[in-house]
Amino acid sequence: MLIKLLVEGGEMKPGPVLSQKLGPVGIPMNQVLQKVNDATKDFKGMKVPVELSVDPTTKEMSINVFSPPASELIKKELGIEKGSNDHKKVKMANASIEQIILVAKTKMPNLLCKDLKAAVKTVLGNSVSLGILVENKSPKEVIAEVEEGKYDSEISSEKIETDPEKKKSLMEYFSKVKVEQEKLLKAEEAAKVAEAAAAAEKPAEGAEAEAGKAEAKPEEKKESKK
């Protein structure tokens, strides 16, 4: 019997789905939790795909742990808890190409990529929806640059360490981006508030106009009798 799970690294908890599958086999839940948590403890804070292979007859169990999804590895590497709710407007981090190469190397055994360069492009593609900048640019721009060979040296040498000066420069650039996007978001929020206020005033104006018409009607009738 094969059971596929997506668990919190090192912190798997009991659940109804797993209980229903393990119950008839007679394997203790606590035993499974301990083994899975031990096997995934290095991926703490990330979602980890796990396969449990259980023999109902012998009650023997083996665990196969896969590397976390690329999005989880990217967030872990960049120190962010979640991706952007609107990746076109809100950026969450500014990665170096070396950090992308590191994630690509980690994830490559589970990717259908012919080489590291292809894996790097895949990770860059995952960075788009998370709202991640790479080398101060959109990941889509960097994918084009990878295809043109701009980062062939870093990829071929599997460079995964970012120079301190470069890291500092990327952080300074991102600080400016954050300031600008905060201004933009505040301006948009103010515009929404103003729009809502204007919309609320229109019904009141309409009601006043109707009330005015209703008051005018009796006068009109008196004049017609004369």
pLDDT in tens, 166-184: 999 999 999 999 999 889 8
CATH of domain 2-65: 3.30.1550.10
Structure tokens at 35: 């083994």
Pick the CATH number of 70-184 from 3.40.190.10, 2.40.10.220, 2.30.30.110, 1.10.10.250: 1.10.10.250
Task: Report pLDDT for 226.
Answer: 46
Q: Regarding beta strands 132-134 and 93-95, do their DSSP bridges make them parallel or antiparallel, or are they unpaired?
A: parallel
Residue of 158, 43, 45, 46 whose CA lies nearest to 108? 158
Give the pTM.
0.70
Cβ-contact 90, 164 below 8 angstroms: no
Task: Report pLDDT for 222.
Answer: 52
pLDDT in tens, 3-54: 888 888 888 888 777 777 777 777 778 888 888 888 888 788 788 888 888 8
Task: Report pLDDT for 18.
Answer: 76
Task: Report pLDDT for 130.
Answer: 94
CA–CA distance, 130 with 135 (Å, rounded to integer)? 15
Of 43-57, 93-107, 123-137, 195-209, least confident by mean pLDDT is 195-209
At residue 217 the predicted structure's pLDDT band, cuts being 50, 70 and 90, is low
With 60 as the cut, is the pLDDT of residue 103 above it? yes
Residue extent(s) of CATH 1.10.10.250 domains in the chain: 70-184
Structure tokens at 150: 């701009």
Is 26 or 108 the better-scoring residue by pLDDT?
108
DSSP string over 58-82 = T--EEEEEPPPPHHHHHHHHHT-SS
Task: Report pLDDT for 14.
Answer: 80
pLDDT in tens, 136-165: 999 999 999 999 999 999 999 999 999 999
Residue extent(s) of CATH 3.30.1550.10 domains in the chain: 2-65
Structure tokens at 200: 């609320």
pLDDT in tens, 69-95: 889 899 989 999 899 988 888 999 999
